[in-house]
Structure formats: structure tokens, C-alpha cells
Amino acid sequence: MAMGKGNSAIERKQGTLLFMVKRTLVLLGIGRRSYSKKTLALMCFGMVLVNNKRMDKGRFYYNHSFHMLQCLVFVIRKSFSVCLYRLFFGHSDHPYWSPLDEIVVRTIGFAAQIGEVTAPRIGLRAFAKIQRMVASVYEDVYVREVLLQSERGHDALWITLDKSLEIGSCPMIMYFHGGGYCVGEAGMWLTALKKWLQDLATEQGIIAGILSVEYPLAPEVKFPENLQFAFKAYDRVLSKAGVCAESIILAGDSAGGAMAFAVAQHAKQHCEGDLAGLVLISPWMNHSCETDSHVEHASTDYLSAHPCIIGEYSVAYCDDIDKAYEDPRISALHSDVAPLPPVMLTYGTREVFIDDVLQFKNNLESHGKFVRVHAGDDCPHVHPVLYPLFRKESTRALSEIAAFSAEMLRANNPSP
């Protein structure tokens, strides 16, 4: 009986919705005849597509649920348009990208464009969980939650290819994820981090683990508290986990790259030992966003979906936008590079941060610092961690990152 009542309620709601659609069609002058439910459903979906298309050029601030719905509609719409364009013209605006590469990049840009700075969190959290589920099925990578600071729940993930490896028993890559300081998860790049460990093991003969830090996000926690958390996490790894600085590679992508940079400075100034190296993947080094590449690569990088988005992430992280532009702890391009260990930089030749990354490279070289560079041909922001997307370039990037990591670890530890 309850089942029948439930069905009746659903039918009444469906009937009300169909009546409203029919009434709208009548008012528009196209509802003079009866339509089947399938036809009405197609018309409704068409209206949703038109509304979704309207969002392409604007800046919107939808909440999480409506944001996810619009992103799903965008994926359907973009998949159809990309495939249709390639079918008739042989390629799209990006001939070196696969259809999946283009759809994902465009979806990331659209997601940033139509939501508040925290809106992509649900999608990224689901993405991270799916990767962990897959890993648990295939058992080719092991992920364990780690408590670094007692006042929080788990605040890092220990990622290894061998279940028996403990923190302190092998070289460590301490990783800070990107996401504009406002979104992201420690496990969201699990597939790429696994590939990094596999390349280290198979190509370089080094068994290592990755400690991916779950630092507090803005705007709930703002600068400098986020950065102080990262400093304390590094200090605790040295003091409590029995890891020496010489066996640690610091790494991060985008905002996480800037955070890893700041931690490397902290390590040199306040801790014992010298870090083995620093890997920065498309680091966010300058918050002013005034370089030519922000205009030149606006159509090929998801970060430029709307010109005000990057500035909104800056404000969410640090309320004082002028401070974000000038404080070397935030815009690392203005910081002292003298304390840094050997550095590897990666960037995509089609990303908006390329000018800032190259200027940072020049700063390192002018100060006599060791720096190795990987440029992803025709790739957008943080392409190495987007693996297996942009497969050729991301595979090459991760292999070179593994080679750099091994070289630096061996230089500091003869038998890592």
C-alpha cells in the first residue's frame, strides 16, 4: 500500500511537470497540438542545453548540487560537439589533443567558471574516491591514512607500491596537491602518483613512498594558517617519523607547487639537513596574472575560462589582494631562491602560467641554482598529474620527474 502511495505521488509530480511544459509551449505558440512524453522530455533537455550553452561566456556562482548538474549537461553537450567537429573537419581547435583530452580540459574550465571557488570540491572528492576504489580492486598501489597533527583527523595519505613499507623505511616524496588553495584532495592525483612510483622502481631501481598532505583549504582557513600547517607537517615528518631531510623530495602542483616552494625555504632556514630536491609542476608563482601568456593561451588552458576566476581564488586564500600580489610567501616569484635545493620545473606550452614559470627558471639560473625543465608540448596546466590524459607528454614528464628524483636521492644517499 505504501508503495502505491509513493508511485501515485511521483505520478502527480510528473503530471504537474508535464502540464507546466505544455503550458509553456502553448504560451510560446508551439503547443497547439499534443506531444508525447518522449517529445516533451527532449524539448526539456533541449532547453537545458540552451541554458547550459548560455553559460559559456559568463561568470556564475552556483551551489554544489546545481553546479554538478550543469557540469554533467556540459559533458554531454561538449562530447557531442567535439565528436561532430572531428567527424566533419578531421580535428578540432586542438589537433594534438585526443577527444577525451579536450572534453576533460573544457569541463574543468566550465566547472570553475560557473561555480563558487569551493564548488568543484564534490566532483574532485568523488574523483579521488573512485581512484582509491580502483586501486583497492587491482591492489597495485596501497593508500593509508596518516595522522600528522593530533588536533585534526587524518591529514595525509601514505602511498606505496608495497603494503609493508612504512614511513621512514624508504625515500619519501612529500606532495602538496593543487586546487587554488580552495579545492582538491590528497588522493586526487593517485593515478599519476602511482605512475611516478612505478617509474622510480622499474626505471631507476628505487623503492619510495609518497606522503600526500591534506592541508586545510581556503576560504574556511586562510593564509598564513594553511602555510603554517604545511610547515608543521614537514617538521613532524622529521621529528616524529624518523625521516631525514636528505631522503625527502618536496613536490607539488599549481598552488601546491607554491606551497612546496615555501616549505623548502622553511626547511633550509629552520630545520636540520638539506632536502634532496624540489619538483614543481606548473607552480602558481605570481598572483597578479598580468603576463602575456594569460591572454595568449586563454583558449587552450582551463584556468582562463573567465578572467576574474584566478583573482577570486587569490582573494579566497588571502583577503588582501595587494598582499597576494606582493608577499613573497604567496607570490613566490618575488621570493629569495638562494635557500632552495636542486629544482625540477614542469609546465605546458599552452598554459597561462608559462611566462611566470619561465621567469622563475631564469631567477634560479641567475642565482646559480641547479634547475631541470620539462616542457609539455601543446599541453595545458599541470599536465603530468592529469595522466593518463595527454598520454605521450604526461608519460614523458613523469619519467623525467622520476629520473630527477632518483638522481637527487642518490646524490644525497649513496644507497637509497
**Other beta carbons less than 10 A from residue 242's beta carbon:** 11
Do residue 88 and residue 197 come from a single domain? no
Bridge pairing between strands 172-176 and 248-253: parallel
pLDDT at 58 (0 to 100): 60
Give exposure, 152-163, as e/b (b: 16+ Cβ within 10 Å).
eeebbbbbbbee
pLDDT range class, residue 409, cuts 50, 70, 90: very high
Do residue 268 and residue 347 come from a single domain? yes
Lowest mean pLDDT among 102-106, 146-150, 378-382: 146-150
- Residue 313 scores a pLDDT above 60: yes
pLDDT range class, residue 5, cuts 50, 70, 90: very low
CATH of the domain at 226: 3.40.50.1820
Do residue 404 and residue 340 come from a single domain? yes
Do residue 108 and residue 143 come from a single domain? no
Q: Which of 39-43, 61-65, 106-110, 267-271 has the highest mean pLDDT?
A: 267-271
User: Residue 23 falls within a domain, yes or no?
Assistant: no
Over range 182-207, report the average pLDDT.
97
Do residue 233 and residue 135 come from a single domain? yes
Do residue 222 and residue 366 come from a single domain? yes
Q: What is the number of structural domains in the chain?
A: 2
User: Residue 345 falls within a domain, yes or no?
Assistant: yes
pLDDT at 298 (0 to 100): 75
pLDDT at 79 (0 to 100): 87
Query: Which residue segment(s) compose the domain that 108 sits in?
Result: 69-114
Do residue 364 and residue 326 come from a single domain? yes
CA dist 346 and 369 (Å) reads: 16
Do residue 313 and residue 402 come from a single domain? yes
Do residue 399 and residue 365 come from a single domain? yes
What value does the mean pLDDT of the chain take? 84
User: Residue 349 falls within a domain, yes or no?
Assistant: yes
User: Residue 184 falls within a domain, yes or no?
Assistant: yes
Strand order in 209-213's β-sheet?
142-146, 156-160, 209-213, 172-176, 248-253, 277-281, 343-348, 371-376
- Residue 187 scores a pLDDT above 50: yes
